Amino acid sequence: MWARENFSFRYRIVIWQKSSGATQIIETTNYTERILKLLPETTYCLKVEAMHMFLRKHSNYSAVQCINTTVADKMPVPENLELDADGESYVLSWDYASPNVSFRAQWLPSYLKSISGDHSDKWEAIPTCAEVRTTRCVFPRDAVHTGTFFLRVQASDGDNTSFWSEEKFINSQKYTSIPAPVIAVTPSRDSLLVYVSCQDSPSTACHGLTYEVSFWKNTSNTKVKMVKGSPEFTIGDLQPRTLYCVQARVHSFAVWNKSSSFSETLCKETRPGNSSQPWIIIALSPVIFSALVLVLYAGRSLLKYLSYVYFASPKPPSSIDEFFSEPSAKNLLFLTPEEHTERCFIIENTDTVAVAGESQAPGEDHRKYSSQTSQDSGNYSNEEGSSGGDSGPGLRPSD
């Protein structure tokens, strides 16, 4: 079951001189490990312990094995291997003291180290680094087909060869250059909005980058630098109608300290300030005043109309009121109240009128009236008396 967990184990190697007991501990994730800088013709013993990195479990130590080193080699081993990138090429260099020596270099995919077994025959030669007589060589990036690999160098002088150097682990991302970014600048009255765009590449993918922006006046060489973790910058407190120049670059500090070259310089002029606003206000004042007057007049007219329609005053207008100022004219507007009248009957051609309901004294003559001597007899009879019975009071003609 543990065969499927090859990449989950870490190994601890404990090695010591058999004669002295001085120990050295080496930890690795590789199935094969070279132990260098041992004394010649000396007996060393070692044991190995396996550790599961995720389950955090430890195995028992292996059985102790001891071995004798051989005599010292006549040729020293190349030391201090270093790799640099130059465009699309790698530059491999090392240290070696003896002159008139040739060198060769080989590489091995790193994943083979995590597979059990002997892979010494899997090392591949680097064509441009074979039989070189300098302590450096240049080879193209595509000569190595994996992202992580090991390098080693061997010195030779005729038939004499040295041991292989210490194996140098290489991660190609460390040596991949970051392309220069592209910037976009949007000016405003007193600031510049700068956006830095990373030119995406498989090695960087624009993740975990730090952005740096530098800006200055076009008439000055004094640069101001801003650094932040996001690609958007706001450069404030600038002067209006002034030309500013901006450039940017990106850094990768997550694993290796790498920086891109600067982007192309982009210059933008800030927009005009507030100096023109008073003139604009002065120019628009007559228009605003006229519009305000029209609005007030229209509002007043509308209010007057609504008041006339919905809230009419009971008092007549002044012109009409003046016409009816005279008392006689005012009386025309009022109806004369109905007078209380009694209905009467006119009695004609009668000589006398007898007053009924009154007892007359004996011997008193009846008053006589002649119709010929009076135009208006003045004799009336109450309606109630005429409409009632004979016994009721009232006036009636005499026989």
| Residue 118 shares a structural domain with residue 205 | no
| Residue 141 shares a structural domain with residue 206 | no
Q: Which of 175, 198, 229 is a domain's end point?
A: 175
Q: How far apart are CA 122 and CA 77, in angstroms?
A: 21
Residue 239 lies in a domain: yes
Residue 64 lies in a domain: yes
DSSP-derived secondary structure letter, 311:
S
Point out which residues pair with 86 in neighbouring strands: 89
Residue 99 lies in a domain: yes
Please give the model's pTM, rounded to 2 decimal places: 0.53
Q: For 118-167, how does the pLDDT look when each residue is reduced to its tens digit (9 = 90+)?
A: 888 999 999 999 999 999 999 999 999 888 999 999 999 988 999 899 99
Residue 308 lies in a domain: no
Q: How far apart are CA 315 and CA 197, in angstroms?
A: 81
- Phi first, then psi, for residue 382 (nearest 5°) are -65, 145
- Phi first, then psi, for residue 386 (nearest 5°) are -75, -30
Residue 170 lies in a domain: yes
Q: Which pLDDT does position 396 carry in this prediction?
A: 46
DSSP-derived secondary structure letter, 62:
P
Q: How far apart are CA 219 and CA 189, in angstroms?
A: 18
For residue 37, the domain's CATH number is: 2.60.40.10
Residue 303 lies in a domain: no
| Residue 134 shares a structural domain with residue 210 | no
In which residue ranges of the chain is pLDDT below 70?
A: 1-7, 200-205, 273-281, 310-399
For 228, the enclosing helix (H) or strand (E) is strand 224-228
Q: Which pLDDT does position 374 carry in this prediction?
A: 44
| Residue 147 shares a structural domain with residue 189 | no
Q: Which pLDDT does position 384 carry in this prediction?
A: 43
Residue 277 lies in a domain: no
Q: Which pLDDT does position 394 carry in this prediction?
A: 44
Name the nearest CA neighbour of 95 among 162, 38, 172: 162
Q: Which pLDDT does position 399 carry in this prediction?
A: 43
Q: How far apart are CA 383 and CA 348, in angstroms?
A: 17
Q: Which of 128, 146, 175 is a domain's end point?
A: 175
| Residue 127 shares a structural domain with residue 187 | no
**C-beta of residue 198 within 8 angstroms of C-beta of residue 231:** yes
| Residue 341 shares a structural domain with residue 392 | yes
| Residue 243 shares a structural domain with residue 164 | no
Q: For 188-207, how does the pLDDT look when each residue is reduced to its tens digit (9 = 90+)?
A: 989 999 999 987 654 445 77
| Residue 101 shares a structural domain with residue 61 | no
212 token code pair: 């740096």
Q: How far apart are CA 163 and CA 156, in angstroms?
A: 9
Q: For the stretch 361-379, what's the b/e string if a residue is b when 16 or more beta carbons lie within 10 angstroms of its beta carbon?
A: eeeeeeeeeeeeeeeebeb
Q: What's the CA angle centered on 254, arms 25 and 30, to 5 degrees?
A: 30
341 token code pair: 């009248």
| Residue 134 shares a structural domain with residue 206 | no
| Residue 336 shares a structural domain with residue 398 | yes
| Residue 105 shares a structural domain with residue 40 | no
Q: Which pLDDT does position 348 carry in this prediction?
A: 60
Compute the radius of gyration of the chain from its Cα atoms. 64
Residue 250 lies in a domain: yes
| Residue 84 shares a structural domain with residue 170 | yes
Q: How far apart are CA 220 and CA 136, in angstroms?
A: 44
Q: Which pLDDT does position 279 carry in this prediction?
A: 59
Number of domains in the chain: 4
CA atoms within 13 A on the CB side of 354: 11
Q: Which of 27, 44, 68 is a domain's end point?
A: 68
Q: How far apart are CA 18 and CA 186, in angstroms?
A: 73
- Phi first, then psi, for residue 306 (nearest 5°) are -65, -40
- The boundaries of the domain holding residue 255 are 182-269
